[in-house]
Structure 1
Amino acid sequence: MQKVLITGAAGFLGSHLCDRFIKEGFYVIAMDNLITGDLKNLEHLFKLETFEFYNHDVSKFVHVPGKLDYILHFASPASPIDYLKIPIQTLKVGSLGTHNLLGLAKEKKARILIASTSEVYGDPLVHPQTEDYYGNVNTIGPRGVYDEAKRFQESITMAYHTYHGLETRIVRIFNTYGPRMRLNDGRVVPAFIGQALRGEDLTVFGEGLQTRSFCYVDDLVEGIYRLLFSDYVYPVNIGNPDEITIKDFAKEIIKLTGTKQKIIYKDLPTNDPLQRQPDISKAKEIIGWEPKFDRNKGMKRTLDYFKEFSEEELKKSEHRDFSKK
């Protein structure tokens, strides 16, 4: 049985990846320091003999006994609320954490896939964003701690590939949504759904003309899985190119939830990207991937998940400042 280490495993994407690799017959070693992750996302796996969990910060030395075939590095705060609150940890997990895991992959002769992000493009001057676009990033702005952590992550990963011959893969993830997102993490999907379920007006920043492209989590996991087992070592965009303005998306949420809230407007956060749309030509060509879920179907599934939250859980998130990613 092949073994895979998944970091950030108790988070939104990490937990879905654990499910997928268990389903595919792998022995899964999950690792998370739970700074933003939640063990509830993994509790259904603890009874399995092919699953184990390590509570560990990958920014510190990482040791996994025995053989290891694959590593998926998904440990990182991924929402503005988190990485603005813990900027040093965000930089460390992208730099020290990535270095530690690349070293582990080298020791174990394992293939490693690094989770990068569309944030490496910053506030893009090219639209849609292709993998050969270098980006427009403010290194010292409030979002720089996340953007630059991911850009460094890509650089050191390619250095390990070219210098040590390590088998590496890099996925650039665009906005993703689905069950197990944290209601209060500040990203646009749970922010809008949470406000709608609490009966609040929906908060849009700026004029709401900035765009996002939302990919359902099942589609994303499929793309990541295919990329891991491909022969392509350079970054690949994985996301849904179906672009929508934030204002129109807020209207969709109001219609979906059947609520009658208004849309209210606040100042646009610093360096908030005005356009975000992936060019997925490489994903189509190299791994034969494109998203299958339309936004309406995916959002219904996501809404059903959040409807299970108690009133107390909904109220816990209402004081948060929802800066949109």
Structure 2
Amino acid sequence: MEEYLIVLNKDEDSISIINIEKKEEIKKIQTDHNPHEVIVTEDGKKTYVTCSLGNTIDVIDNDSFEITKRITHEDFNFPHGLDIVDNGKKLYVASTYSEKIFIIDTQTDEIIKHFPTYQKLSHMIEPSPDKKTIYVPNIGSDNITIIDTETEEITGHFPVGKGPEGVACSPDGKYVYVANQEDNTLYVINRKTLKPDYKRRTGECPIRIVFSPDGKYAFIPNRYSRDVSVIATKHKMKDQLVPWEIKRIPIGIWPGGVCFNESGSMAFVANNKTNDISFINVEKLEETTRVKAGIHPDGIAYLKK
């Protein structure tokens, strides 16, 4: 089996398929306008890409690396964050400017439900480890919307910092990590109390959070300070285990999308303004190389097939 990166090049309407071992692009796919975020299905057969300024979702067959369908809706207005729940059967999508959530059947690739969040700039989708809850950061409302995936309804909202965008659930299911881009902070939210147990400083303009597969680290790309904050999730300090930033890894200009390989030995960060991908050795917490991508690479996903 081979390992690939699926990299969205926002400002040339394309996707670079990069072979990780060869460290080179093996194919380029033309997409609808402004591809932003990407998710691979749990069986690895398909990839979904939100084309935010095209107001579409492109569906890619991972055997051929060809677009097989383009999903549209009159209420798509900057479709952005997306993720998969219900044993791979349903795709949730956040449409930022229409401030609505869409649910898509992954068997038929048809929209089966949509509803408003009644919040401002609903931007990303993050499921809990058990896939029973979805968290949606609302950049303009400084809060997070909670969705129950069994009832497919909103159950509440909770406040966070200014301009929340990056959000990720810890693999142990205890916390929701939230990156607040306007006040350069990380909130570690207790999922039971919905209040922050910890608040941490980050680099400048943190916009994503991705956990390593083992949950040891959370990687946070900081757009303006050109680095990645490495949060050790259980750092020992005064006989306590606490989340703590242990390093900032300097990389390219405007880092954005982040993903890990299956083993967690490598992380990959898309650098929007240097048009390349940083390969990071997770054991050493060091950038090892950069691989060329297209213009303004951002969304990124890992695929093994």
With normalisation by structure 2, the TM-score equals 0.32
Please say which structure displays the higher CA radius of gyration. 1
Greater strand share, 1 or 2? 2
Relative contact order, CA 8 A, sep 6+: which one is greater? Answer: 1
With normalisation by structure 1, the TM-score equals 0.30
Greater helix share, 1 or 2? 1
